[in-house]
C-alpha cells in the first residue's frame, strides 16, 4: 500500500441529497403518499440519469465484477436499475424518519444474530455494530428511535461530518429525534474513542460504517483486502475501536422489502482471549468484509458506493 492516497468518497458531493431535495420528497410523501411520490422521484431520476457519468461508470465497474464472479454477463440496463434503486433508498430513509416504517414493518432474517443482539439489550450491555453502504441502515436506526424500545436502548451513529452534514440536517428537520445521538467526526482519534467507550459502559449501542476510510488512506488508516476478487481498502480505525471495547461486535444489514425492510444481524465471532487487540481487530475486519462480500453478491443492486473503491480503478 502506498504511504497515502486521496480518499475519493470524501471529496464527492452528496448527489441528490441536498437539503431542499430531501424536504421536497418528505412533503410529497406526506401529502401524496408513497406510490405517487415514488413515481415522481422515478421520473426525475430518468431526466437526470444521462448526466450521471461518474456514478454510471462506477456502477458498471461494480456490476461487471459481480457478473464475472457469477459467470454471466451484466444486463444492458443494470446500471440504470442500480442507480434508480439508490434513488429510491432516499425515499425509504424519509419514510423511516417520518415514522411510516417501524419495527412492525422490519422482517428479521437471521434469528440467531437477532437473538444475540436482543440478549445484549435485555442485559443492558453495550454493543458495537458495524454497518455498511449496502442497504439502508437508517431504516434500522429510525425504527428503533421511533419505537418504545428506544426508551431503554440508546443507539449512536458515527458519521463523517464533511459528507453527511446536509443529510443529517434534513433528517433532523423531518424528525427532531433524528440528530439526538449523531456523533459527527472528521477523523477517528482519542477523543472519539473516549466518547465511544463511555457510551458502551452505559449500555448504549454504537454504529459505525466499516466500508469507508475516514481521512487519508495510509498504511495506518486502512488495510487492503480482496473484495469481489480485487484489492480494496477498508478502514482500520472502526475495527480497532471494536476490538478495544469490552462488548459484543455485530454486523448489520437492512434491506428494503415490500413497504418495509429486512434485517440481517451477524455476531462477529469471538477470538481467543490471548489474542492481541491488533490481531483481534484484523480478524473482526476480515469477518466483516467476508459478510459484506456475501451480501453484495446476493443483493448487488443494494450496494451504494458510486466512487473509486478498488485500488486498480
CB-based contacts of 37, cutoff 8 Å, min separation 6: 25, 28, 29, 91
Q: What is the pLDDT of residue 163?
A: 52
Angle formed at CA 70 by CA 66 and CA 74, multiple of 5 degrees:
55
pLDDT digits (tens, 9 = 90+) for 224-233: 999 999 999 9
Burial category of 254 from C-beta neighbours within 10 Å (exposed 0-12, middle 13-18, buried 19 and up)? buried
Task: Reply yes or no on whether the pLDDT at 143 is more than 90.
Answer: no
pTM for the structure as a whole: 0.86
- Within the chain, what is the greatest distance between any pair of CA atoms? 58
- Confidence bin at 9 (pLDDT 50/70/90): low
83 close to 59: Cβ distance less than 8 angstroms = yes
- The pLDDT of residue 3: 41
Instruction: Of 51, 53, 76, give the one whose Cα is nearest residue 63.
Output: 76
- Tell me the pLDDT band of 147, cut-offs 50, 70 and 90: low
DSSP codes of every residue in the chain? --SEE--HHHHS--TT--HHHHHHHHHHHHHH-HHHHHHHHHHHHHHHGGG-HHHHHHHHHHHHHHHHHHTSPPPTTHHHHHHHHHHHHHHHHHHHHTTSS-GGGEEE--HHHHHHHHHHHHTT--EEEEE-SBS-HHHHHHHHHTSGGGGT--EEEEEEHHHHHHHHHHHHHH-TTTTTTEEEESS--HHHHHHHHHHHHTT-EEEEESSS--S-EETTTEEEEEETTEEEEEESHHHHHHHHSSS-EEEEEEEEETTEEEEEEEEPPP--TTS-HHHHHHHHHHHHHHHHHHHHHH-GGGB---S--BTT-
For the stretch 215-272, pLDDT in tens is 778 888 899 999 999 999 999 989 988 888 888 999 999 998 887 889 999 999 766 6
Question: 212 pLDDT band (50/70/90 cuts)?
Answer: confident
Q: What are the boundaries of each domain within the chain?
A: 4-302
Q: What would be the CATH architecture of the domain defined by 4-302?
A: 3-Layer(aba) Sandwich (3.40)
How confident is the model over 95-137, as pLDDT tens digits? 777 777 777 788 889 999 988 988 887 887 889 999 999 998 8
Output the pLDDT for position 67: 94
pLDDT at 204 over 90: no
Residue 205 pairs in a beta bridge with 127, 155
pLDDT for the residue 36 = 92
What proportion of the chain, given as a percentage, has pLDDT over 90?
A: 34
Write out pLDDT tens, residues 293-302: 999 999 999 9
Listed ranges 28-32, 35-39, 160-164, 275-279; the one with the highest mean pLDDT:
35-39
Amino acid at each position: 500500500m502506498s504511504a497515502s492516497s486521496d480518499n475519493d468518497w470524501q471529496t464527492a458531493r452528496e448527489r441528490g441529497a441536498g437539503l431542499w431535495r430531501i424536504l421536497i420528497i418528505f412533503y410529497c410523501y406526506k401529502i401524496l403518499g408513497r406510490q405517487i411520490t415514488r413515481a415522481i422521484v422515478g421520473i426525475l431520476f430518468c431526466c437526470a440519469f444521462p448526466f450521471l457519468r461518474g456514478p454510471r461508470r462506477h456502477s458498471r465497474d461494480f456490476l461487471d465484477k459481480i457478473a464475472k464472479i457469477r459467470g454471466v454477463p451484466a444486463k444492458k440496463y443494470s446500471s440504470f436499475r442500480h442507480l434508480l434503486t439508490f434513488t429510491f433508498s432516499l425515499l425509504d430513509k424519509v419514510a423511516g424518519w417520518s415514522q411510516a416504517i417501524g419495527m412492525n414493518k422490519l422482517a428479521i432474517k437471521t434469528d440467531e444474530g437477532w437473538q444475540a443482539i436482543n440478549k445484549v439489550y435485555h442485559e443492558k450491555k453495550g454493543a458495537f455494530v458495524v454497518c455498511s453502504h449496502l442497504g439502508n441502515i437508517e431504516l434500522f436506526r429510525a425504527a428503533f428511535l421511533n419505537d418504545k424500545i428506544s426508551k431503554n436502548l440508546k443507539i449512536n451513529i458515527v458519521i463523517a461530518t464533511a459528507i453527511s452534514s446536509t443529510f443529517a440536517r434534513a433528517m433532523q428537520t423531518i424528525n427532531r429525534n433524528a440528530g439526538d445521538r449523531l456523533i459527527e467526526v472528521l477523523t477517528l482519534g482519542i477523543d472519539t474513542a473516549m466518547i465511544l467507550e463511555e457510551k458502551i459502559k452505559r449500555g448504549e449501542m454504537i454504529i459505525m460504517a466499516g466500508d469507508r476510510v475516514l481521512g487519508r488512506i495510509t498504511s495506518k488508516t486502512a488495510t487492503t483486502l480482496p473484495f469481489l476478487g480485487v484489492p480494496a481498502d477498508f478502514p482500520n480505525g472502526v475495527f480497532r475501536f471494536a476490538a478495544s471495547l469490552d462488548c459484543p461486535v455485530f454486523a448489520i444489514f437492512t434491506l428494503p422489502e415490500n413497504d418495509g425492510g429486512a434485517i440481517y444481524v451477524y455476531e462477529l465471532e469471538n477470538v481467543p482471549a490471548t489474542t492481541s487487540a491488533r490481531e483481534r481487530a484484523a480478524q473482526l475486519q476480515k469477518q466483516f468484509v467476508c459478510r459484506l462480500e456475501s451480501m453484495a453478491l446476493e443483493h448487488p443492486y443494494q450496494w451504494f458506493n458510486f466512487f473509486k473503491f478498488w485500488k486498480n480503478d
